[in-house]
Each structure stands twice: as structure tokens, then as C-alpha cells.
Structure 1
């Protein structure tokens, strides 16, 4: 790399191009070595040449060292005393060589001045880039600070989450326990589902038997309807028979009362006849007594004699007998049916027999 530096300790400008180091102080020393011991007019020319070099360096942007850094100038030739004289040809050769060296140094100085200008331009560009880099570094620092703040927030959140990890562990343990209980419940439900599936299969087999059961139910319903019709018919017949028996009981009660009245009248008339005639007309008394007994025997043929301990109020004459229908007791006693109180029985009216009740044939079962 090519760089330019100014060193105050050596009182010179230094250009560095790889391993090249050139300084004004070195140039002065070389000139003094070449010109020692110089004659008087050569010292004047050398000083003029050095002034030209300094002027060229100043015009090309290379400023000489400050005034306080200037060294004392070359001494006057008279200060050296008497100087031995050299041949003019030798002096001309030396001057020609020095002039060529000075031209070479001037050309090199110009090249170095151009290089210095380029370096200053590159330095300005580098400074501009450095400023841009500084601005970018500032923005990057701000972005880094923002990122660091975001990372700090994330770290704080992670720390809070880690602190909450204990509660999460407890929740995980509870969740595992609940999962185990759910697995057990699932097994129980699977067993129930299997049992219900078996029951469903059984119910399906039962459902296949439903048509037969429905047909059997229809048969039972029809049988029930027939039994119901028979029951209604028997109930109606029974109610009619009870009404006829009640009417017969009333008739027998009135007849019994009339018989008692007649017996009382006969007894009264017999007592009156006995008291009035004494033993007169004894045959008539016997005939009257036999007549009373005859009527009494006649009524006894229609009314059964009461059994001891079976008489019911209000008629003590009419006894209580067994009713032909089981489970039913006839009020007032049983009387055998006569020709005027016969009610025929037959099948209930229906589609096959539409005859009204009581219109059965005379040969109906008694």
C-alpha cells in the first residue's frame, strides 16, 4: 500500500511506496557529500537549486517544514578559509553530474508530488467513507441496542415462563392422571357398548318374532271381543233375571201378607163361632178347621217352609235358599220358576243371530 506520513521528530516529509523512503534531509546530505569541499560559486548555485526544489515542492502541494524547524543555511565560502582550486574541466563534469542528479531528483519529486495528490484524494474519499461507516456504525449500534432490548425482553419472558414451568408440570401431571382415568372410562364404555351390541342383536331376534306375536295378539283380541260380547249378554240376562226375581219377591211378599190376613180372619171367625155356639154344630167347626188347613197346605206347596235359623226380615215365613248362580245371593230367598216367569236364554245377538232379546224358541235350554 502507498501511504503518506509527516514525522516531526525527523523534520521531514516521508513518502512510502512499498520499501521506498525519500526525505529532504537525505537529499541535503547527499548534495553535501557530492559537493564537499565545494568552491564558492558552487555553494551559491547549490543554495539556489535547493530553493528551487523547495519552491517546486510548495507549488505541488508539498509544504516545507515550519520556520522554527529550518536548520541554519550553508556557511559562506569564506568561512572555510582558503580552498584549493580544482581544474575547470573537472568542476564542469561535477556540475554536469550534479545537474543531471538534480533533474532526476526534480522528476522524482514531481512524481512523488502527483502521487501525494492522488493520495490526498484517496484520503478524502477514505475519510468520507469513514464518516459513512461511522454513521452506519451508529445505525447498527442503535439496531443492535434495539435487538438487545428485544432479546432482553424475550429472555425476561422465557425466565417468567421457566418460573411458571412448575405450575405447568403440575398441570401436566394432572392431565396425565385425567388421561389415565379417561382410558379406564373408555374401556368401561367399550365393554358397555359390547354388552349393548349383544342386547341389540337379541332385540333384533325378538323383533323378528314380532309378526308372530302380532298375529297371536290379533287372535287374542278377537277372542277377547267374543268373551266381552258373551259377558255383556250374560250380564244383561242376569240383570233382567234379578229384576224379575225382585218383582216375584214383591208379589210373594204381598201374597204372604194377604195369607196372614186371611189366616187371622179365619182364626177370628173360628173363635167367634166357638164362643157363640159352644159344642153346637161341631161338624161345621171341624169342616172349617179342615178348610183352613187345606189352604195352608196349598200355600205351603208354593212357598217352601222356612228352615230353622234361615229366616230373614221382614218376612219370617220366606226362607233363604241357595241361588243357582255362584257368587250371587238372591235377596229375600229363592223361588222356583213357574210357567209365567220363564225367561228364555240364547246366544248373544250378532251377525249370525240378529233376533231381539227374549225372542228365543220355545225349545231353548231351561
Structure 2
């Protein structure tokens, strides 16, 4: 058989652990009494633990006695000394206490969480009750507002019915107004067509007006040219009159010169001069019709010299009925 090894611990450490466990147990009992309504299972666990702990200190728990007088189940004890049971080893008790201590901590944490959850739920419940109260108040207000609104709607409906009854004569006026509107629409349609034609005419007139501006400038230009031409014609008329006067004076001079020439010719024919006769051997006379050379100087005023004899039979200057030379173009351009 295997031997049981029992480790001995110092008394100071055992006493310190016992005092600590006692303090933990007392605090746990107080917490359990305050929260017994929330977690009865935890309370029974702690009560069982206390019974076991008291049995470890050679004290029987209260549940061990069935009778109220405190006798054991086998009847009253005999007077002979009873054999006490062998107490467990302190090391085993310490280990069991450590395990129970961890279990107590875990249960305490769960109990705290449950308490916090209960407090939070109570707060939420209070908030929900307050919200429900506010909702009831709001619902009452909404119902009152709905009733007021429905009353207003009923009153408005009655007023509208009265207004509809009062608007019966207005329907006839509305029909008349519709007929008048249709007539005015037809008139408006006709007027719109007339306006379109007027707009077209206006556009044509505007285009013509634009052309009139060009025509006006052309007219002004032509008028200026006409005035210039009139001035040139007047100038040419004045110049033509002067030329006519000069021509008449030249004709008079030519007539007088022709007469003098006739006189000289008569004198030459009547007189028989010797030197002129000697010149006949050459077959020519001075200014005779048979001469082959023209005189050294022509007649004045640009008139060609006529041969004697042949020139006597024709006129010395052109007829006045001939075509008259027009005015010089260089004068009209001034």
C-alpha cells in the first residue's frame, strides 16, 4: 500500500490563512444576506460552505441535529466517552479553502454583474415607465388635436357646402364668361393672323428701308453728278458763246482779207510787170494756180491757202450750215 505523505505547514501561516478565510466568509455572508432575494442558489451554496467549514473546526452544523433538543439520530448519547472522528489534515483543508475562495470570488463577480444588470434593468424600466407616461400624455394631446381638427374640418365642410349653394348663380355667369372667352379667343386668333401679316409687311418695309438708304446715297451721288454736269454745261455754254464770237470775228477778218486779196489780184492782172513776165519761163507765177510750191506762209487763223484761180470759184470758208464741233471734253471734266 502506498504511504500517505502529509506536509506540515507553520502555525503562523495557517493562522493567517484562517483569519483571511474567516474575514472572506463573514463578508460573503453579509453580501449573501443583502442579495438573498436575487440569488437564493448562491445563499444555499454559502450556507453549505459554512457548515462544511464549521465541521472542519470540530463543530457540527445545525442541520446535523434532527430533534429540537439537539440529540443525534440514534437517540440521546450515552454517558460513555464517544470516539471523535479523525479530523482532516490542515493542508487539505487549506487547499479546499483555496478552491472555495476562488469559487466565492467567481460567484461574487457574477453576483455583482447580476446586481448591475438588475440596477440597469430597473433604470430602463423607470425610463420605459416615464416614456410610457409621456407617450400617454402625447397620445391624449394628439387625440385632442385630432378632435379639434375633425371639428374644424366639419365646420369647413359646412362652410363649403354653404358656399357651393351660394355659387349656384355664379355658374350661369361662368358659362356666359366661357362663351365670351371663346369669342375673345377667336378674335385673338384673327388678330394674331393680322399681326403676323403686319409683321411680314413690317419686315419687308424694313428691308426696303435699308434699300432706301442705299438708294438715297445713290440719289445724292447722282444729284451731285447732275449738279456738276449742269455747272459744266453752263461753263461750256459760256465757252461756246465766246468761241462763236471769236469765229464771227475771224469770219469778218477773213471776208475783209478776201476782199483785199481780190483787189490785189485785180491789180496784178491789170498791170503787166516785166519781172513777173520773166518768171514765166520757169512755168510758174507767184501764187498762181499752176504753182507747185505753196507760199512760205499760210493765211492767218489756221485757214489753208487757196490757189488763185481755182479758189476764186469756191467759198473761202466753210458753210455755217455744216456740223458744229462739240465742246472740248477736257473742259467738261473740270
- TM-score, scaled relative to structure 2: 0.31
Q: Which of the pair is proportionally richer in helix?
A: 2
Higher relative contact order (CA 8 A, sep 6+): 2
Q: Which of the pair is proportionally richer in strand?
A: 1
- TM-score, scaled relative to structure 1: 0.29
